[in-house]
Structure 1
Amino acid sequence: MSDNLQRDFNAELCAFLDASPTPFHAVDSMIKRLAAAGFQALDEADRWFLEPGQGYYITRNDSSIIAWRQPTDRCAVEHGWRLVGAHTDSPCLKVKPCPELHRHGYFQLGVEVYGGVLLNPWFDRDLSLAGRVTYRTTEGDITSALLDFERPVAVLPSLAIHLDREANSSRSINAQTYLPVVMGQTETKPDFRQLLKLRLQDKGVESVESVLDYELCFYDTQGATLVGFEQEFLASARLDNLLSCFVGLQALIEGRDDRIGQVLVCTDHEEVGSMSACGAQGPMLAQWLERVLPEAGRRNRSLARSMLISVDNAHGVHPNFSDKHDSNHGPLLNAGPVIKLNANQRYASNSETSAFFRHLAEQVQVPVQSFVVRTDMACGSTIGPITAAELGVKTLDIGVPQFAMHSIRELAGSQDAYGLYRVLQHFMQVQRVPG
């Protein structure tokens, strides 16, 4: 039975990854699943009339989302909130504002590098284009729509090794000159905004007068799939960190307990520092909390009984590069979720929160691993320390182990997402947290 549940879970995870090529599409995918589960949309500009036991969600910038089940005020104070946090963005190549290039008969688009992209794997992939387009309607209104070309429309060809004999030993990538993407062959330079208008019309948006601006990125059209001799691995784009968004979403939907405030917060811009109106270093989560518990004293008492689990993937030990890990802290794929620790507070885990997670995992029979970066290497960070500092809430950093983080195609264990989901679902239902 558990094998069937894991297989079904992975099938839904793959469908979510394929439907979510950008943060805008990821939030849209989550909204559809929340609506199907009975959650109601709220607008931050409206007054809210919240009913205990009802699920709600809000979005900001179309790329960040907070979803929750509203407890009674008494339960919120007595039991606190169980929060799961993740981020919707992934490193990618974004189209520039004036991107058109026409060289030697080839139509190209200039791009910016978003986040810490592993650039080499982007070459020679079948690329499509997706994101948000803002336009003026024929009635004079300004509105936005999600756009996805869906099929391969571009490629970034490698230079042949015959023309660069040092390619395998010393080639470095100049992001300005090497990355303009080839879209096709034309006699003249096309108007990119006009192409977007035509694509919107092809998708059934008929009232477009002119495209004013856009936020678009390229993505690999190869879909998520299970690979390996026994399908041990999950291969996909954007595992960091849409895998965590999906796991947290399913834990919220399936872990209902009306006595406890259950929250999923998935914010944008983590890969570039989280400092934005819809990022973890912005005010979105704190402003939400002020609205669901307006009285400051009760809100602070509730936070003291709350806990946030920041979910962001961890570096699994690569068999060809095991020297990049501390020998006692090399997480294995398919060996359970990873508690992430750092003495310098790059991760927010402490002995109480990590012990509590171990306790929860034992109760649902899911193994747990630990990750500490080599002492002579720099450590990345997550939304965990940022949110802990903003709210003063007890926080744990965890994630499933993966290979090729920030590549155009990443690899995780096919057992780990479902195992993490089981622990987070249990976390959503516990009445007390440590401290």
Structure 2
Amino acid sequence: MSELNSFNEALLQFLDSSPTPFHAVETMVTTLISAGFEALDERDEWQLKAGGRYFVVRNGSSLVAFCCGASDLLPRGWRMVGAHTDSPNLKVKPTPELHRHGYFQVGVEVYGGALLNPWFDRDLALAGRVNYENTQGELRSCLLNIARPVGIIPNLAIHLDREANNSHSVNPQKDLPVVLLQSGEKEDFRTLLASELTEHGVSDVAAVLDYELSFYDSQKAAMVGWNGDFIASARLDNLLSCFIGVQALLNSDSDSHTVLVCNDHEEVGSQSAVGAQGPMLESVLRRIAGDEVSLQRAMANSMMISADNAHGIHPNFSDRHDANHGPLLNAGPVIKNNVNQRYATNSDTSSLFRRLCADQSVAVQSFVVRSDMACGSTVGPLTAAALGVKTLDVGVPTFAMHSIRELAGSQDAFNLNKVLSAFYGLAALGVAN
């Protein structure tokens, strides 16, 4: 198997094993521990060593992993990569039960800016975190992944909606309750969960108290296209970047001071204890540096690359792009630019990235949103504002972003990994402050 095929096979496995941010972090932690990284507890005093490799987890859904290089931190600073663990989805409400016409349904909330129409007529699985009281009266939590199709949102037949192909708006409250089963009984969702936990080997459940559960497409990630040119999967935005970041971090040498941060809640604004607008990354970096002055000196020599998917130019909708800035799939990573600081890229950071791409024989592209359209954003500007660190926003070009199933090129993740691995190994930025 070629290096590219091996990389993509591992990527597909990661996507399938990570239906929620909790599962994504669990999967990344397993990979890091296998590579010799040590778990740290924020409640403890840390004893960090030169050459040590560590990680911190908050809420089970955000992660900071870092390597303490053998060289002095202050003149080199950190090479940081940022991504996010969450994706738009449908989350089960706290009291979700709906009993209508002999069907048991559950109500859902829309998390993030989801493209809703593709959620209809899909075989939906369910995963997330469940909190329960055990038989000893103790509070416990565990991850649950019901990977089989347990729900569906059926479309209305076109005979009953003759305008469906002309206009099909979605009312999240009315149209999205998920059908779970057919029965005349008054099923309780928490009772179903307790039974499912027992089936998954959690034998001490006395009562399910609460949960954070999301429906997801049960169809597995796949290589698609006549020649296997594409990767189709749920949650490419932005688990693809999380996977790339972990692989690049594992490639970093013992002399480098490297950091990977994968935050939750990017899709809903990042303002949380574990989001990019929260204190997690800065707290970890301050503890590594040891004091405020050392933190600021190291930060002045540091750089962050925010990796989050970019909009590839769609052949059926090319007019939605600026004609000179329409990234192609499998044509290299994309530098994301916005003069209004929706992306944190500047000419210093983008020129460094272009040189890294050239050194790795990787093509590079640029994205600028049309001047008459609104621009999205990501964790880059938030991190730059919070830390005062030089920052660049890049991403892999993608189709159908925020759909239940997205599409990326089969070469792009591998090539971005090569560039980020080289970035992690930089001894000096060569960019003026």
TM-score, normalised by the number of residues in structure 2 = 0.99
Task: For 1:22-421, list aligned pairs within 5 A.
Answer: 22-72=20-70, 75-255=72-252, 257-421=253-417
Question: 1:102 touches 1:189 (CA, 8 Å); kept in 2?
Answer: yes
Distance 1:265 1:375 in 2: 31
Distance 2:220 2:251 in 1: 26
Distance 1:119 1:26 in 2: 23
Distance 1:336 1:162 in 2: 45
> Offset of 1:189 from its aligned partner?
2.1
> Offset of 1:298 from its aligned partner?
1.4
> Offset of 1:75 from its aligned partner?
1.7
Question: 1:80 touches 1:260 (CA, 8 Å); kept in 2?
Answer: no
2:8 counterpart residue number? 10
Distance 2:203 2:368 in 1: 53
Which AA in structure 2 matches 1:77?
A: L
Distance 1:343 1:283 in 2: 26
> Offset of 1:139 from its aligned partner?
1.3
Which AA in structure 1 matches 2:130?
A: V
> Offset of 1:137 from its aligned partner?
1.2
> Offset of 1:204 from its aligned partner?
1.0
> Offset of 1:251 from its aligned partner?
0.1
Question: 1:75 touches 1:259 (CA, 8 Å); kept in 2?
Answer: no
Which AA in structure 1 matches 2:317?
A: F
Distance 1:134 1:293 in 2: 36
Distance 2:368 2:186 in 1: 51
Distance 1:195 1:70 in 2: 46
1:365-411 residue CA offsets vs partner (Å, 9 max, x unmatched): 00000000000000000000000000000000000000000000000
> Offset of 1:259 from its aligned partner?
2.0
Which AA in structure 1 matches 2:396?
A: V
Distance 2:315 2:88 in 1: 24
> Offset of 1:207 from its aligned partner?
1.2
Distance 1:31 1:65 in 2: 9
> Offset of 1:127 from its aligned partner?
0.3
Deviating beyond 4 angstroms after TM superposition, the runs of 4 or more aligned structure 1 residues are none
1:430 counterpart residue number? 426
Distance 1:312 1:358 in 2: 17
Distance 2:140 2:425 in 1: 40
TM-score, normalised by the number of residues in structure 1 = 0.98
Distance 1:65 1:71 in 2: 19
Distance 2:366 2:379 in 1: 18
- Secondary structure of residue in 2 paired with 1:378: coil
- Secondary structure of residue in 1 paired with 2:173: coil
Distance 2:183 2:282 in 1: 51
Q: Which residue of 12, 19, 22 corresponds with 1:21?
A: 19
Which AA in structure 1 matches 2:95?
A: C
Distance 1:399 1:383 in 2: 12
Which AA in structure 2 matches 1:339?
A: I
Which stretch has the larger CA shift, 406-415 or 190-199? Answer: 190-199
1:69-104 residue CA offsets vs partner (Å, 9 max, x unmatched): 1135x6211211010000000000000000011101
Unaligned runs of 5+ in 1: none
> Offset of 1:270 from its aligned partner?
0.2
Question: 1:75 touches 1:260 (CA, 8 Å); kept in 2?
Answer: no
Amino-acid identity (%): 62
1:212-248 residue CA offsets vs partner (Å, 9 max, x unmatched): 1000000001001110110000000000000000000
